[in-house]
Chains A and B, each alone.
Chain A
Amino acid sequence: MAENIEKKNTENITSEDIDVEAIMEQIRENIKERGYDKIPLSFEDIPMSQPVVAGDVDYDGMILKQELQYLNNNWNNNWNVAISGGGLRAKFKKVVRKITRFIIAPIVAFQNEYNASNVRAMQQLAAYIKITEEYRARVDELERQIAELKKGNHE
Chain B
Amino acid sequence: MNKKERKILQMMPTITFGDGVSNDALAMDRILRDMGYKTGIYAQNIGSRLPAGVVQKVEKLPKLSKDDVILYHFSTGTDLNKQIAELPGRKVMVYHNITPKHFLLPYNADGANLCDSGRKDLSLVRDAFEMCIADSEYNRQELVELGYRCRAEVLPILIPFEDYDQEPDKRVLEMYKDGKTNLLFVGRIAPNKCQEDVIGTFYYYHKYINPESRLFLVGSEEGMERYQERLSEYAKKLGIEENIIFTGKTKFTEILAYYQLADVFVCMSEHEGFCIPLLEAMYLNVPVIGYDATAVGETMGGSGVLLKGKDLQAGAEWIELLRTNEQIRGKILKGQKKRLEYFSTKRTEQRFREIVESLGV
**How far apart are the CA atoms of A48 and B238 in the complex, in Å?**
17
Is B317 close to A, CB under 8 A? yes
Interface residues of A in 69-101 (CB under 8 A from B): none
CB pair A10 B311 closer than 8 Å: yes
Q: Which residue of B lies closest to A30 (CB)?
A: B317
Q: Which of B110, B209, B306, B321 contacts A12 (CB 8 A)?
A: B306
Q: Which of B109, B237, B305 contacts A13 (CB 8 A)?
A: B305
CB pair A48 B226 closer than 8 Å: yes
Is B229 close to A, CB under 8 A? yes
Is A36 close to B, CB under 8 A? yes
**How far apart are the CA atoms of A11 and B317 in the complex, in Å?**
12
CB pair B308 A9 closer than 8 Å: yes
Interface of A is mostly: loop
**How far apart are the CA atoms of A43 and B309 in the complex, in Å?**
17
**Chain B binder among A49-57, A59-67, A105-113, A114-122:** A49-57
CB pair A10 B314 closer than 8 Å: yes
**1/0 per residue A1-37: CB within 8 Å of B?**
1101100111111110110000100110011001110
Q: Which of A4, A30, A51 contacts B311 (CB 8 A)?
A: A4
Q: Which of B226, B229, B233, B331 contacts A18 (CB 8 A)?
A: B331
Is B252 close to A, CB under 8 A? no
Chain B residues within 8 Å of A14, by CB = 302-303, 335
- How close is A15's CB to chain B, nearest CB, in angstroms? 4
Chain A residues within 8 Å of B307, by CB = 10-11
CB pair B308 A8 closer than 8 Å: yes
CB pair A34 B209 closer than 8 Å: yes
CB pair A39 B230 closer than 8 Å: no
Q: Which of B226, B233, B305, B321 contacts A51 (CB 8 A)?
A: B226
- How close is B300's CB to chain A, nearest CB, in angstroms? 9
**How far apart are the CA atoms of A46 and B314 in the complex, in Å?**
24
Chain B residues within 8 Å of A152, by CB = none
- How close is B359's CB to chain A, nearest CB, in angstroms? 35
Chain B residues within 8 Å of A39, by CB = 200, 203-204, 238, 312
- Residue pairs across A and B with CB atoms within 8 Å: the count is 98
- How close is A16's CB to chain B, nearest CB, in angstroms? 9
Q: Given A15-B303, A48-B226, does the pair A23, B328 have CB atoms closer than 8 Å?
A: yes
CB pair A43 B204 closer than 8 Å: no
**How far apart are the CA atoms of A101 and B312 in the complex, in Å?**
55
**How far apart are the CA atoms of A134 and B196 in the complex, in Å?**
48
Chain B residues within 8 Å of A5, by CB = 311, 313-314
Is B161 close to A, CB under 8 A? no
Q: Which residue of B lies closest to A1 (CB)?
A: B313
**How far apart are the CA atoms of A41 and B196 in the complex, in Å?**
11
Q: Which of A1, A2, A13, A34 contacts B306 (CB 8 A)?
A: A13
**1/0 per residue B278-309: CB within 8 Å of A?**
00000000000000100001000011111111
Chain A residues within 8 Å of B306, by CB = 11-13
Interface residues of B in 328-354 (CB under 8 A from A): 328, 331-332, 334-335
Chain A residues within 8 Å of B204, by CB = 36, 39
Interface residues of B in 222-276 (CB under 8 A from A): 226, 229-230, 233-234, 237-238
CB pair B230 A43 closer than 8 Å: yes
Q: Given A18-B328, A51-B106, does the pair A46, B237 have CB atoms closer than 8 Å?
A: yes
Chain A residues within 8 Å of B311, by CB = 4-5, 9-10
Chain B residues within 8 Å of A26, by CB = 321
Interface residues of B in 114-172 (CB under 8 A from A): none
- How close is A17's CB to chain B, nearest CB, in angstroms? 6
CB pair A27 B321 closer than 8 Å: yes
CB pair A17 B331 closer than 8 Å: yes
Given A10-B309, A46-B230, A55-B105, 13 other A-B residues pairs in contact with their CB atoms under 8 A: A5-B313, A8-B309, A12-B302, A14-B303, A34-B209, A39-B312, A43-B196, A43-B230, A43-B234, A46-B233, A46-B237, A48-B106, A48-B226
A-B contact pairs, 15 of them (CB 8 A): A10-B308, A11-B305, A11-B314, A11-B318, A12-B306, A14-B303, A26-B321, A30-B317, A31-B314, A39-B203, A45-B237, A46-B234, A48-B106, A48-B226, A55-B106
- Report which B residues bind A (CB closer than 8 A): 105-106, 109-110, 196-197, 200, 203-204, 208-209, 226, 229-230, 233-234, 237-238, 292, 297, 302-309, 311-314, 317-318, 320-321, 328, 331-332, 334-335
- Report which A residues bind B (CB closer than 8 A): 1-2, 4-5, 8-15, 17-18, 23, 26-27, 30-31, 34-36, 39-41, 43, 45-46, 48-49, 51, 53, 55
